[in-house]
Chains A and B, each alone.
Chain A
């Protein structure tokens, strides 16, 4: 202790004349830092209501609640997160994980109210003063808790692909599949959008867990065609996927394929449930496509004896005759069908309804009938000269390719149409060495074909001619009957009515022509309903059987009840919808046969 210890403390006095820190503006509003984690904001239009914020919130401060004016639709649950500030700890993990990136935080942190209930609100739906604040916590650039990039699928190169009919998509390895499965947040938006309502988060979890038997079991709960759907499904689920709202959607289709590919057919029986004891009831199914065989599978699981009548020499329907083998190799399809047959389903191949057997006879001989005959009739171009011998129909070309027949398409091929059949036909023609033009009446973005299909067709060398209105087919002057001139009118897209899609309007004088060895028309397909007589009592409206919510068309006296489904009935006209219809009809038929009422 020295004299300094008595004098030094008086140095405090030098501060006596300083302004204190706190009196400058004691009640001034102090804005939070630009990154401040204040009250939540949500871009309710970008939000898809997936509830991942709710899943990560360790305080259970977030609830997904119905939001006024928002309906559930594909890819949007219609719900929005409600934040309870009695629980929130402002950690912002919800912001970090938000798949769509709609959640953020303002830098506002002062909010005073007498009513404690106001501190629980739905940001972006209930307006707050800080809505739209430019400041506040945002996910930092380059920082994500979820992976927005899909694990790339190994595929054949385009040059290699067009040289053969080898399967294009090679499939995920275990490590790739598990990494891809890890991207899923199990929100379930996909389930709602899948026509068959497959338990997608469930089987993706099985991939993560490496439990293939469980995965297969979940697949077969709603879909007995996992090999086929794992390859060619129209994957509406991926459009709905919440991860897709801020990155690449989870490769749900490839993960389904991965599960099915991992289990040998001989091991299926171990993984999958056994059927019920025989019921003594017989069900006839017309059409061994995915819809018919799906009904067959679920009916046979219920113990009913199922006979499937198929006009073609092989089962599979459009999966076999409409989809080229580079997309769906026959062994994969045979595996799906093989398992269904192994359950005792009998498939009578080469039996055509209306020719070899009448519907009325099926109604007499069986306890129920399911019609799943699809759309075998190709619609025509409906232009002068459409019956030229070089005008072929797309479905027939694909079927002939499946049967291994010589296609004789020639060197230059035009494919008319923008659907999946058109793309399949074009790519099949490419694989036969042809130069291919795809002519479509509207723009590329209007094409009903999957975007992937269009992209791949172009990458493989097909030339896309957009806005081409077919006018006429004429005989090629120098090669009558051997080649044809296709004449089209260039169009411009005109928005004629607000809210409707633009109409292709011919540009006067812009008439073009091309000389082709084959012109493959793929503008659309229709049903062949000639086997349904009026006396069968099946109600038909505009070439569609009219069915109830179980797919039942009639239970009129004079025969067994008739159900119908698949492309014949639904609007989606894809395999998964047909499978869903088949499952639905199987439930309906089962309830009817067991007297539970349909």
Chain B
């Protein structure tokens, strides 16, 4: 028996609470709150312990990346873009590099294609490992977070070895990647994957066969399938609603067309389903990493020589490059005007939709205690909302 789905309140029914009536409590969740995934805040109006209205507030994390990029050389933006989404920087690196390569007509070496794919899948795994700790923690299961964050650190150890950095890898550089894999690296990747996989089994047992988690997550934050296109929902949030949308399959970038995998699709479209689906994607990432280790070329160049970065000019043009990140479609729209700096860069972070518009609607009718769990179940990263 599954808990009943949360009722979706249509916009027409949206109440305008009379705050002077004394029936309501207005409270702020965030910008500093463990239940908020980063620096944003929710202005909640509660009646009793039920949220009746919500306004999302962003702007606490605005660093002006898109504008900064217009004033920096193409190559100088390479260390900048990774900071747009702190827990998952590699997708920025990839999208930015791929956009420039497309505009400049550069084809990257085969090895770089595979190493980029490896880097992105390792990132997906690390990012989900952090997310699952947050999801469990939001429902009171702090132990899971201790396990998963440890596992994430093992993956970050791999990143440190490959790229020289744990958080900001700055590995996917326009033209390819910045270095070959160190000797014995693939072996350690496989060892770590085995450890992570074993821990995922434990997490699966403890978290997903858990009455408390089920009672709180099932039915919570139900996203009707017709919202997906309406709101531009992507990634696991869309797939859990039964929409088999995955850019890795749909646009087939990097080495994905040569990897064996199928998008995981759910039906229930609630917080539990989304969590379950993401767990599946973690196993899938491990599988993909194993495939990559197996198939990646061992020899050959890893970067195409580009012009001098101090004067690198890219012919006028515009492009949009996207990739499937853990939260959905991550995209860079880059306009070049023939000069040595981008004319405009716009970053599409999937959290923009998920954490602002969708969140505002889903949170109505939810118990205050579940707001954090709901938000985490949308897997949002406020840094990518404010570029």
Contacts and interface: CB of A to CB of B under 8 A. Distances in A.
A and B in direct contact, judged by CB atoms within 8 A: yes
A58 B164 contact: no
B206 A9 contact: yes
Contacts of A37: 164-165
B74 to A, nearest CB: 11
B202 interface: yes
A8 interface: yes
A58 B168 contact: no
Contact of B79 (A1, A91, A143): A91
Contact of B305 (A33, A58, A92, A147): A147
Interface residues of B, number: 46
A142 interface: yes
B80 A58 contact: yes
Interface stretch (A182-190, A383-391, A521-529): A182-190
Contact of A6 (B1, B170, B178, B211): B211
B311 A182 contact: yes
A92 B182 contact: no
Given A1-B214, A147-B308, A58 B161 contact: no
Given A35-B179, A183-B308, A142 B301 contact: yes
B160 A36 contact: yes
Interface string B197-213: 00000100110011110
B163 A35 contact: yes
Nearest to B149: A21
Contacts of B72: 58
Interface in B35-79: 72-73, 75-79
Contacts of B170: 91-92
Nearest to A243: B308
Interface in A113-160: 137, 140-147
A32 interface: yes
A12 B143 contact: yes
Interface in A196-215: 208
Contacts of B306: 145
Interface in B329-343: none
Contacts of A399: none
B209 A36 contact: no
Contact of B310 (A9, A11, A186): A186
A177 to B, nearest CB: 14
Interface residues of A, number: 43
Nearest to B305: A147
A487 to B, nearest CB: 55
B206 A182 contact: no
Nearest to B83: A89
Interface in B141-186: 143, 147, 150, 157, 160-165, 168, 170, 178-180, 182
B307 interface: yes
A93 B171 CA distance: 11
B75 A93 contact: yes
Contacts of B77: 58
Contacts of A34: 161, 182
A8 B305 CA distance: 55
B64 to A, nearest CB: 14
B232 interface: no
B17 interface: no
B131 interface: no
Interface of B: 1-2, 72-73, 75-80, 83, 143, 147, 150, 157, 160-165, 168, 170, 178-180, 182, 202, 205-206, 209-212, 214-215, 301-303, 305-311
27 contacts: A1-B214, A5-B209, A5-B211, A8-B210, A9-B209, A11-B202, A12-B143, A12-B206, A33-B157, A56-B73, A56-B309, A58-B76, A91-B78, A91-B79, A92-B164, A93-B78, A96-B178, A97-B309, A137-B164, A140-B179, A140-B180, A143-B302, A145-B308, A184-B308, A185-B308, A185-B310, A186-B310
Given A32-B160, A36-B165, 6 more contacts: A8-B210, A9-B210, A9-B211, A35-B182, A58-B80, A145-B308
